[in-house]
Amino acid sequence: MTLQIKSFDEYKDVYKRSVEDPEGFWAEQASTFTWRRKWDKTLEWNFREPNVKWFAGGKLNITENCLDRHLDTRGGQVAILFEPNRPEAPVQKYTYKELHAAVCKTANALKANGVGKGDRVCFYMPMVPELAIGVLACARIGAVHSVVFAGFSAQALADRIIDAQCKMVICSDYNDRGAKSIPVKEVVDQAMNMGCESVETVLVHKNTGGPADMPDARYKWWHDEVDGQSAICEAEEMDAEDMLFILYTSGSTGKPKGVVHTCGGFMVYTAYSFKNVFQYQDGDIYWCTADIGWITGHSYIVYGPLLAGATTLMFEGVPTYPDAGRFWAVCEKHKVNQFYTAPTAIRALMAQGDKWTEGYDLSSIKVLGSVGEPINEEAWEWYYHRIGKGNAPIVDTWWQTETGGILISGLGGLSPMKPAHAGYPLPGIQPCLVDSNGALLEGNDVEGLLCMKFPWPSMLRTTYGDHERCRQTYFAAFQDMYFTGDGARRDKNGMYRIIGRVDDVINVSGHRMGTAEVENAINEHPKVIESAVVGYPHEIKGQGIYAYVIVSGPVGDEEAFRKEILAVVTKEIGPIAKPDKIQIVSGLPKTRSGKIMRRILRKVASGDTSNLGDVSTLLNPEVVDEIKTGALAD
């Protein structure tokens, strides 16, 4: 079984060893899994191309490690505990044995529909067990899953389907979310008319059973295809470096990139980090509130917990339905031991008032986790005292879609904690800070750009279909380093505090958003000539989206125009990308070479117009005053 560190002293020893002998360390971790064939070489790497291979030549199937391996020892234990949106609806439980059977049946259905090793399958589904089952079914047969968060628009979905050339799309009919019913399949229907020619089958899971018509012969019902299948499906033999999944994420430029993760390294790292960060013990009930549409759900709802033989709770609903006590009601109901959520959810619940936390027995909680964005001190304190009652340590887990797993975090209850500090690197992780010239910042009490100087097993291997883009984005900024895009501070004790993105990526409610992507969407409005989008501090969302827009001619009713912009963004990307504020301007501050001075726009958006620095070298310094005067307050 995966090594579990038991004290901070042990962590220090293990860490030291993992840096002195990374290959020996990771080979030892990897040997705790089931391999059909042992790897030839633990690690091969260079960050120039980049070329990173872990456990190459090793043969395995990740689902044998998530499922088959547990059947003898814990076949009857609950693997997935499903809490539906409506509190009165029955809880669903899948034991490891049942999950194994469900995955095999679904895998056989995929095969019967012509999906095989290496084919891409897109998921556009709410948080229902069939999403996890479908993802595992792909892994079972060596198909590559590409889960698209079901809040994205038809256009965004189509872009991702086309980029990955998916052969199949799996969706639900509807989604019950809070008091709303969301027509999920309708979005897929629209996407199918946007050039998704690679798609041969659309498999529709009947979730709510609302009215649904099948537009053409490609559409099939999940139950028709899956129910009659055999519950035995031999797992496909995969190389450790074969692709496991693609997950799209926003960067500072252009379209979202398909981050590629591979089978062996992702398996070893997610299991190891899960066991250690959350200090998961046999029999514990673990709950991560993320959506499987994001990396957190991939690594720490599905793979990490199942690899570790855990009981993972999946929640269909939202934190405020039927009321703002729902998270705590679920924790009490299922006696949750590890609870993992995002600062934005904590702040939103905090804003609803303490009364919603009262009257629940939260004594089962042993570890509280935070992920996705910096957690401010106030939210940290509230989480620690109100929810954890001062007894449950907080693990502030820093990582990214590209890192596959948690890289910097406390180990629940073992490591020293400091509000707003992610803390120390996990074993095997070698972070460093550099200045903008790439010079290494040695010692403690320094602030700079966060990089990694050595590979770890679950790091991205490429961006789908465009390796050069991967190199440019992550490996070109600083020689022989992976650049995270984040700024960070190392305090006097060597603990890391993540400050936030230093590129044009903003983090809205824990959702990563490229400003260029939002600008491109806004520019689709026929009256918009140019736009610039920046983030600004937002009390609940962490960052809000502030858009400056240049229009051609009069817009008439400004409110109606703003609504049109929101509609365009919703259509192009989805409601999560809607700007919070839209300021109409006659120009954008630009340098003489035509580059937008975002620094000025960020300052104005944050409400601070006091010291904008020297603007005299701008091409158009006069617009700065206009922008300041027209700045939108809260």
Interaction site with ligand PRX (CB under 6 A): 249, 295-296, 370-374, 396-401, 422, 484-486, 498, 500-501, 507, 512
400 versus 463: smaller Cβ distance to ligand PRX: 400
Taking the complex as a whole, the smallest distance from the CB of residue 229 to ligand PRX amounts, in Å, to 34
Q: Rounded CA gap, 548 and 561, in Å?
A: 13
Q: Rounded CA gap, 44 and 618, in Å?
A: 48
Residues 499-521 as b/e (b if ≥16 CB within 10 A, e otherwise) read bbbbbbbbbbbbbbbbbbbbbbb
Provide the residue type at 580 as one letter.
D
458 versus 531: smaller Cβ distance to ligand PRX: 458
Do strands 120-124 and 168-172 pair parallel, antiparallel, or not at all (unpaired)? parallel
Give the CA distances from residue 48 to residues 53, 200, 265, 503, 611, in Å, rounded to whole numbers and listed in that order.
14, 38, 20, 21, 41
Taking the complex as a whole, the smallest distance from the CB of residue 193 to ligand PRX amounts, in Å, to 29
Look up tokens 């117009």; give the residue. 609
406 versus 585: smaller Cβ distance to ligand PRX: 406
Q: Rounded CA gap, 528 and 530, in Å?
A: 6
174 versus 380: smaller Cβ distance to ligand PRX: 380
Taking the complex as a whole, the smallest distance from the CB of residue 530 to ligand PRX amounts, in Å, to 27
Helix (H, G, I), strand (E, B) or coil at 447: strand
What contacts 234, CB < 8 A, 6 or more positions away? none
Closest CA to 294 of 148, 176, 124: 148
Taking the complex as a whole, the smallest distance from the CB of residue 381 to ligand PRX amounts, in Å, to 16
Do strands 168-172 and 201-205 pair parallel, antiparallel, or not at all (unpaired)? parallel
Taking the complex as a whole, the smallest distance from the CB of residue 485 to ligand PRX amounts, in Å, to 6
Taking the complex as a whole, the smallest distance from the CB of residue 451 to ligand PRX amounts, in Å, to 12
Taking the complex as a whole, the smallest distance from the CB of residue 511 to ligand PRX amounts, in Å, to 7
50 versus 485: smaller Cβ distance to ligand PRX: 485
Taking the complex as a whole, the smallest distance from the CB of residue 259 to ligand PRX amounts, in Å, to 8
318 versus 502: smaller Cβ distance to ligand PRX: 502
In 263-383, the DSSP E strands lie at 285-288, 311-315, 338-341, 367-371
Residue pair 415/369 in contact by the 8 Å Cβ criterion: no
* DSSP secondary structure, 415-445, as one string: S---TT--BSBPTT--EEEE-TT--B--SSS
460 versus 551: smaller Cβ distance to ligand PRX: 460
Q: Which residues pair with 46 in a beta bridge?
A: 51
Residue pair 263/241 in contact by the 8 Å Cβ criterion: yes
Taking the complex as a whole, the smallest distance from the CB of residue 52 to ligand PRX amounts, in Å, to 18
481 versus 568: smaller Cβ distance to ligand PRX: 481
Taking the complex as a whole, the smallest distance from the CB of residue 571 to ligand PRX amounts, in Å, to 22
185 versus 497: smaller Cβ distance to ligand PRX: 497
70 versus 512: smaller Cβ distance to ligand PRX: 512
Backbone angles phi, psi at 340, to 5 degrees: -130, 115
Determine whether 59 is exposed, middle or buried from the number of CB atoms within 10 Å of its CB (0-12, 13-18, 19+). Answer: middle
